[in-house]
Structure 1
């Protein structure tokens, strides 16, 4: 999996959700059409696993979390930035999402959950905040952030 091929996968998905509100309706739609067990979910998960193995995903580490911004917001990605984290039984730093956040939860070990959600998608609306937490194992989580906006709490 090349970084360019990964970009095409994410661009294809982001084109499907362009302009939609980040809300529970989008959460349900993503899980119905691209959720755990679907070809698109499995393709993105495999791409992330390969990107981590090749070293261009999750190329940084801090506080026991491997992470990295893969792509900055751009028109081809519908103005979403793309980040991927690798977490195991840990809570990350508290932050808020000025424009919302879309997460793809990809368990790797155990029955890993992200913020108590199993494999699949989790959509946070604009203005929401949390301490991202992986429990019961290890997971990769792909984040789509509108305009790359995230605000870490001091």
Structure 2
């Protein structure tokens, strides 16, 4: 069994630009609007992050696991480098993922790999869930990468 390559410092530094800006903000609709304005899908930050995520998938330090048609992996554990957020990336193609809840909220960056791909109804950009929310994540219309930030690394998967 080969060991997963380390997450590059450049990726952590790129994500920290956002986590530094949102560390004291409550996840919810106001934060979603703010992120879609400040770190929009047509920004240089988005383009650079998308390129890093694609490279991470190709190089094996992102999305190294697969279950139920969803590729996934935790790139960064919550900690000081990302202001208390964990960083995960998933790759989904026309699939519904496992039901889970977000004790502290969930902040998702949607990066469509196929034109028209959407995550929970959102194309390229940010989708934010408030604390205590829950969902079955869904990608429709093709393939997408979704980077998600979890305050405190908190997520609870529903047992079947």
Among 16, 34, 39, the alignment partner of 1:34 is 39
What are the equivalent positions in structure 2 for 1:102-121 lying under 5 Å apart? 102-121=107-126
CA deviation digits over 1:83-140, x for unaligned, max 9?
0000000000000000000000000013100001111001100000000000000000
SS at match of 2:114: strand
SS at match of 1:32: helix
Structure 1, unaligned stretches of length 5 or more? none
- CA-CA distance at 1:4 after TM superposition: 1.2
Q: Aligned residues, how many?
A: 153
Q: Which runs of 4+ in 1 moved over 6 A?
A: none
Deviation of 1:11 after TM superposition, in Å, equals: 1.2
Query: Which of 116, 139, 155 lines up with 1:150 in the alignment?
Result: 155
Aligned to 1:72: 77
Question: Which residue, out of 12, 26, 45, partners 1:21?
Answer: 26
TM-score (normalised: structure 1) = 0.97
Structure 1 stretch displaced more, 79-88 or 15-24: 15-24
Structure 1 position 18, deviation (Å): 1.2
Give how far 1:51 is off. 0.7
Q: For residue 57 of structure 1, what is the aligned residue in structure 2?
A: 62
CA distance in 1, matches of 2:76, 2:98: 21
Q: TM-score, normalised by structure 2?
A: 0.93
Gapped runs of 5+ residues in structure 2?
Answer: 1-6
More strand by share: 1
The Cα RMSD (Å) is 0.8
Inter-partner Cα distance in structure 1 for 2:44 and 2:129:
24
Which residue, 35, 49, 53 being the options, matches 1:48? 53
